[in-house]
Structure 1
Amino acid sequence: MVPGNNSQISEFLLLGFSKEPELQPLIFCLFLSMYLVAVFGNLLIILAIISDRHLHTPMYFFLSNLSFVDICFISTTIPKMLLNIITQAKVITYEDCLTQMYFFLLFVQLDNFLLTVMSYDRFVAICHPLHYTVIMNPALCGLLVLISWLIGALNSLLQTLLALKLSFCTVLEIPHFFCEFKEVIQLACSNTFLNNVMMYFAVGLFGGGPFTGICYSYSKIVFSIHGISSAQGKYKAFSTCASHISVVSLFYCTGLGVYLMYLTSADTHSSHSSVIASVMYSVVTPMLNPFMYSLRNKDIKNALKIFGKETNKELSVLGLKNCH
């Protein structure tokens, strides 16, 4: 591989979902709607947690971080896709493509790590309730989030630097709506063995490891709940985990779909199946997370109501002041 080859690469083409011009307005409206719902939904969760002192606990501290990451996650890919539809262009520069790959990998890993940390929080709360405040102290919570960011940033940087060393030939069309890591690697005309090894190693380590931790935490939680004598106590303990279980199930089911697509699909260029799987993973999941937490969580519902009332009061006061 000649190192100077990369200097000749200036841009890639994102083929998106369809080449039919009449479908572009529909695609634009659909994804703009999903993007706005995801951003405002997660933003409401963050504001509700900040405004309600009763939610200043480790559980909701992690949830606010998850909502922030989801906003960043969906913002990594959708705005560029919407801009390309508006300008009727499919171009993304080489630098922007690598940047998009880096942040996509970063935020998907952060989602994974934060869900794992949240499962550990539920494990301590249910299995060791008397020691919960001592174990889940602010210092540990901050450290867990910091470690998640550091690991995610370092792994994403490593994967991106390895991709930076690849040389590309004439075919620079990416059959996707963003610079999906696997698709970009497949376009290289140099040896991608190390890239593929590191990619699957990272998936196994940073995907399988946290998933194993989540399964272990919930196995202990189920065993602990089973030991509770009263039905009301069992329901109360389980209700604190219901939202998190729903989000974990959605995240890993869609993520597993993408992973299996890579393993079983011999020609991703001839099918939109991998693109659809990625939409479920990178767009639908961040959009549905706020609903899962707000619809299944009484504390979040109450906080949103209080936040709404306070906002209305502030608007009415401002309105009265403007009248004078």
Structure 2
Amino acid sequence: MDKTIVKPYEDINRKIYAYTLPQVPDHDGYIKVGETTQETSERIRRQISTAGLYADFLFEKLAKKWDGTWFRDYELHRFFEQNGIERANFNNSAREWFYFNGYPHIAEELTDKFIQQDYSPLPLSEKISDYQLRKEQQDAVDATLEYYHSDNEEGEFLWNAKPRFGKTLSTYDFIRKINAKNVLIVTNRPAIANSWLDDFKEFISWQEPTYRFISETDALKNKAMSRKEFIDETGMKVDEEFTQINFISLQDLKGAEFAGGEHKKLKWVSEIHWNLLVIDEAHEGVDTSKTDKAFEKINRDFTLHLSGTPFKALADNKFNENQIYNWSYVDEQNAKENWDYSYGSNPYERLPTLNLFTYQ
């Protein structure tokens, strides 16, 4: 009798492994994290034996998430980078080495979090800070809160504030104050995405462990959580547990089919009831019929406009005086000159003196 067994597929036995090379000086602090379907010890031996090296083995884990899905090492590598772990570039090769600065347990902790589909950021450095808003920032938040809780039908507010006002951090404070669960940030300048993510990591994520920052813009590639990762982790239990802060570009929004564009993307934006829509750099590319149509498709409770030069919106009387908080260069210089030192050091002291000239 023919006892040949035909296997229609190959069993997956992929493992994630990690080791260091303590005798190689330029690898100090770096950990190799790779994958294999072989015996791990044999895989490591083949990698280093020709160089006469020995490895300090750290851990081995099945490359399988808690829900049963298999993953590849490059997916884990991306998660490392999202958490601020630097990838090595040894002669433009050996791209599986990551700098953990002498803390190998962090590599295993992050791997376990990824396997458990817990994509919350893990504080890895001293760059986490509490914050205290400056008076003008607190005034902006307070004015917006007062309007937000009023009976006004127009659920829109404008921060007409000079550059370097701190609109990003102040917006996060407003989000916390209103206990928003679904937040959408849209900008015509995707390059500013890093400032939103950096402030989130430094000031917010460690204080609000259920907050998630989600973006797939090119500027945040391999840095922010993807939409799929958010869904995998949370099961979309936003109202119950999690707050989602989504960052997208205005160009992508206008190009989406649901918003009048030609591309089948971002449909989920139209399916969520947003507690807050934030339009950053609100003076850029916003006042067009195509943009208006896109924003009309977004179901939301409140809209916060951020701009340093909202001249067209002001000229068109889009906002009344109760819907605007203003902070100009002149306001900042007055605050610098009139600071009451009984409150402590002057936060404006390092700012340059501004001279204004008029010509006839």
Shorter-chain TM band: under 0.3
Tell me which of the two structures has the higher relative contact order, counting C-alpha pairs closer than 8 angstroms and 6 or more residues apart. Answer: 1
Length-normalised TM-score, structure 1: 0.23
Which of the two has greater strand per residue? 2
Which of the two has greater helix per residue? 1
